[in-house]
Amino acid sequence: MADLQEPVSLPPKTQLLDENVVFSILGDPLRRKLLMVLARKSAQPAADLHKTHQLCSTVKHLAVMRSAGFVIMAANPADGRRALYSLSPAISAVVSECSVAFHFCFQSFSAEVSIGASVSPTKHQWNEDFVFDTLAEPVRRRLLLALARGGPQPAVNLQGAGGRTIDDTLKRLARMRTAGLVTMSDNQKDGRRNLYSLSPQVPLTTDGASKVIDFGFCVLRLG
């Protein structure tokens, strides 16, 4: 598998996408696999894409991906009963021997996603399914980005990102603490309000004016 220590050259992407839609697609392991397969070889019938899954499940996922603008469907001139599926031209993909890299631009950040790639053994081994599941949930994603941008904060300061009530925010933060994404510490300025921070294991760095969260297979660049 490819090692992400070597940067992948991605084409420029100017079209802004809906982050909720993109991460809802990436949050499902089968959809990620379908993206990789279609990036490698376009114009395939669903029957050729369901190698390890039920055909009906594959067709349902392809329908969701079509609705999200990730996949297009065309008539099959060789077999009118089986439509052909391809990756949408709107999705930027760079294919290498062992992985496929995608580049997505959103309103306030961008994401570089490598499907099928390995991470450096020197990095914390984040579980791909877990990370994409977290990013697929809008509130947890907003909390992750808010902590990356703003550093340690009490829950009340995160309520705008964390939900309609402080209880919603605290529940999400508790789940993220259990998952190892967030830590909680005493607040020296206000003993009644604990401070929440990204876990030291979350690979947060600074690149110029941007913050970067690099999970290896998914890099978030915060403008």
Coil, strand or helix: which one is 19?
helix
Residue 193 domain-assigned (yes or no)? yes
Residues 44, 69 within the same domain = yes
Residues 29, 92 within the same domain = yes
Mean pLDDT lowest among 80-84, 92-96, 189-193: 189-193
Residues 111, 152 within the same domain = no
Q: What is the mean pLDDT of residues 59-74?
A: 94
Residues 57, 108 within the same domain = yes
Q: What is the mean pLDDT of residues 188-203?
A: 86
Q: What is the mean pLDDT of residues 179-189?
A: 87
pLDDT tens digits, 96-119: 888 899 999 999 999 999 998 665
Residues 104, 132 within the same domain = no
Coil, strand or helix: which one is 163?
coil
pLDDT value, residue 7? 36
- d(C-alpha 30, C-alpha 219), whole Å: 20
Q: What is the mean pLDDT of residues 59-67?
A: 94
Residues 85, 139 within the same domain = no
Residues 110, 162 within the same domain = no
Q: What is the CATH number of the domain that holds 73?
A: 1.10.10.10
Residue 98 domain-assigned (yes or no)? yes
pLDDT value, residue 149? 94
pLDDT value, residue 207? 86
Helix (H) or strand (E) holding 220: strand 218-222
Q: What is the mean pLDDT of residues 18-27?
A: 96
Residue 10 domain-assigned (yes or no)? no
Q: What is the mean pLDDT of residues 168-183?
A: 92
Q: Taking 90 as the threshold, does the pLDDT of residue 183 lie above it? A: yes
Q: Left (φ > 0), alpha (ψ -120 to 50) or beta: where does 199 sit?
A: beta
Residue 209 domain-assigned (yes or no)? no
Q: What is the mean pLDDT of residues 71-94?
A: 91
Residues 87, 134 within the same domain = no
Q: At what angle do helices 29-40 and 128-136 cross, to 10 degrees?
A: 100
Residue 170 domain-assigned (yes or no)? yes
Mean confidence (pLDDT) of the chain: 86
Number of domains in the chain: 2
- d(C-alpha 178, C-alpha 182), whole Å: 8
Q: Taking 80 as the threshold, does the pLDDT of residue 25 lie above it? A: yes
Would you say 139 and 161 are in contact if contact means Cβ atoms under 8 Å apart?
A: yes
Q: Taking 50 as the threshold, does the pLDDT of residue 62 lie above it? A: yes
Coil, strand or helix: which one is 177?
helix
- Whole domain around residue 162: which residue ranges? 128-202
Residues 79, 33 within the same domain = yes
pLDDT value, residue 13? 47
Residues 81, 161 within the same domain = no
